[in-house]
Amino acid sequence: MKMKWLPIAAAVTAALASQAAFAVDFHGYFRSGVGVSDNGDMQTMSKNRVGRLGNEAETYSEVQLGQEVYNKNNQTFYVDSMFAMVAGKQGRDWESTSGDSADFALRQFNVQAKNLFGGNETLWAGKRYYQRHDIHISDTYYWDVSGAGAGVENIEVGPGKLSVAVVRNDPWDAIYKGDTEANTQYRLDANRNYVLDDKGNKIKIDDRVNTNTFDIRYAGIPLWTDASLEVGYDYAMANLTDEQERQNPDYKDGHMFTAELTQSMLGGFNKTVAQYFLDGLAKQGVDYGAGSGSGLSQAASSGDGFRLINWGVLPVGDKVEFGHQILYAQANGLDKDTTDMDTFSAVVRPMYKWNDVMKTIAEVGYFKDNKDVNGVKTSSDGAKYTLAQAWSAGSSFWARPEIRVFASYMQQDGNFRENSNGIKQDDAWNFGVQAEAWW
């Protein structure tokens, strides 16, 4: 009987060895948990402004699969893919699109070819996350033109590396509205076939504006010790049909200029970012946008704006690390009604390490928005305070997976669920448990 199984065992071993030689790279991200508030389901507010800890009520996940399919003469071809799911209701263990409780998306599918021209550059094409810059503690992407496109990155030019790309970034819900203002933001109907204007009228999504973003950036410019600079320019070009050009000949494209200084210090880092926005992208700074063509808006096409950001993660001794965000943005001359807007946000997340797997985390966030509408100045502000006990796979600020038990107090006038008298509440308490992981 033993002799009978030997050939089978040998065949299985050979098959497994063969598969290992072509192993698929498996990466991903997810966050998920459960929370309640003092008035039913967990309440949230803008995490870009006040931070994400204890302020995320959904399940979000990404599964990334990739494989190197060619490697010869130091030249490689790699196929990458990513699927994502988000479920906002968190009502049970079966989330589906039929119940309008989950959305599924193809986030990436591309080919990356390295060193084809002998300079260690990467030629790529397809749908891709493209060199995204974000603030982790607030989930704010301040430079992100991801989409379907093509480019060449990491070309060695002088002391730094040059990258160029063109990416398709159609506005999310932007449409062409006949002989009225183009590219205005509307909401999708339930079947996602139309957008609805403020009166509920249906307009076909097929009439939205086609937008391409041209991205050029130069990174790794050495400055002083442990400091480097990256600069870039993004041009969001609307590719209008003949009819759209006839109806709106003054349609303006968008521009974004970015400079980012990175300083390594104390075993952590600090980034200072300056951005300038013009024409169709003028509102990106005050909207906490990423500068992609999906944010192109003709409601702001005559204005300009800027954004200043300082953020990072720094250790203080062996037991404490803290992340921070300070952001200020301003936009001017936006349209005939809203001439000026500005926003300020500050978020601090200190963390104390009890041992290699247990930590206590606090997060405090505050924002204030100001707006000038028809000469009438208004402002709004809000704050969030979160305390969490966490267990993670390591003591680092970035150690994941992590399980957190949290309590949050939030305050923003009229932002939370209605009470028994039908009046929206000004504050809310949240209690919950969340897991977060990347691998």
Query: What pLDDT score does 139 carry?
Result: 97
* Average of per-residue pLDDT across 250-273: 94
DSSP for 88-145 reads SS--SS---TTTTSEEEEEEEEEEEEESTTSSS-EEEEEEE--S-EEEGGGTEEEE--
pLDDT tens figures, 357-374? 999 999 999 999 999 887
383 close to 404: Cβ distance less than 8 angstroms: no
55 pLDDT higher than 50: yes
Query: What pLDDT score does 257 carry?
Result: 98
Q: How many residues would you count in the chain?
A: 439
97 pLDDT higher than 70: no
Q: What is the bridge-based pairing of β-strands 160-168 and 147-157?
A: antiparallel
The chain-wide mean pLDDT, for the chain, equals 86
How far apart CA 34 and CA 303 sit, in angstroms, is: 42
Q: Left if phi > 0, otherwise alpha if psi is -120 to 50, otherwise beta: which for 18?
A: alpha
Query: What pLDDT score does 207 carry?
Result: 54
Query: What pLDDT score does 95 carry?
Result: 73
Would you call the peptide bond into 401 cis, given omega within 30 degrees of 0 as the criterion?
yes
299 pLDDT higher than 80: no
183 pLDDT higher than 70: no
Query: What pLDDT score does 225 carry?
Result: 95
Element (H, E) at 262: strand 254-265
How far apart CA 35 and CA 41 sit, in angstroms, is: 7
Query: What pLDDT score does 300 carry?
Result: 67
In this structure, which long-range contacts are made by residues 82-86, counting pairs with CB atoms below 8 Å and at least 24 apart in sequence? 82/106, 82/107, 82/108, 82/109, 82/129, 83/107, 84/60, 85/59, 85/60, 85/61, 86/58, 86/59, 86/60, 86/61
Helix/strand/coil percentages in the chain, nearest 5: 10, 60, 30
Name the pLDDT band for 4 (thresholds 50, 70, 90): very low
pTM of the model: 0.86
pLDDT tens figures, 338-352? 679 999 999 999 999
Handedness of CA 131, 135, 138, 142 (dihedral sign): negative
How far apart CA 349 and CA 363 sit, in angstroms, is: 4
Name the pLDDT band for 395 (thresholds 50, 70, 90): very high
How far apart CA 79 and CA 68 sit, in angstroms, is: 6
CA 381 to chain centre: 23
Of the two residues 171 and 69, the one the predictor is more confident about is 69
Nearest to 68 by CA among 129, 114, 125: 114
pLDDT tens figures, 308-335? 999 999 999 999 999 999 999 999 987 7
Q: How far is CA 296 from CA 140, 268, 341, in A?
A: 18, 35, 17
257 close to 284: Cβ distance less than 8 angstroms: no
Nearest to 384 by CA among 407, 353, 400, 402: 407
Name the pLDDT band for 177 (thresholds 50, 70, 90): very low
Helix (H, G, I), strand (E, B) or coil at 45: coil
Across the beta sheet with 202-204, what order do the strands follow? 187-188, 194-196, 202-204
Query: What pLDDT score does 201 carry?
Result: 57
Name the pLDDT band for 5 (thresholds 50, 70, 90): very low
**Environment class of residue 437 by beta-carbon count within 10 Å: exposed (0-12), middle (13-18) or buried (19+)?**
middle
Nearest to 48 by CA among 175, 129, 131, 144: 144
Query: What pLDDT score does 40 carry?
Result: 85
How far apart CA 435 and CA 138 sit, in angstroms, is: 17
Query: What pLDDT score does 181 carry?
Result: 36
% of the chain residues with pLDDT over 70: 84
How far apart CA 27 and CA 80 sit, in angstroms, is: 10
Least confident window among 77-91, 349-363, 395-409, 414-428: 414-428
Query: What pLDDT score does 336 carry?
Result: 64
Name the pLDDT band for 197 (thresholds 50, 70, 90): low
Of the two residues 421 and 362, the one the predictor is more confident about is 362
Element (H, E) at 243: helix 242-247
416 close to 14: Cβ distance less than 8 angstroms: no
292 Cβ neighbours under 8 A, 6+ residues apart? 144, 145, 146, 147, 167, 169, 213, 234, 236
> What 8-state DSSP symbol labels residue 300?
G
252 pLDDT higher than 70: yes
* Average of per-residue pLDDT across 145-152: 97
Nearest to 308 by CA among 343, 274, 270: 274
Strands (E), 354-423: 358-373, 376-392, 402-418
Burial 200-216 (b: 16+ CB within 10 A, else e): eeebebebbbebbbbbe
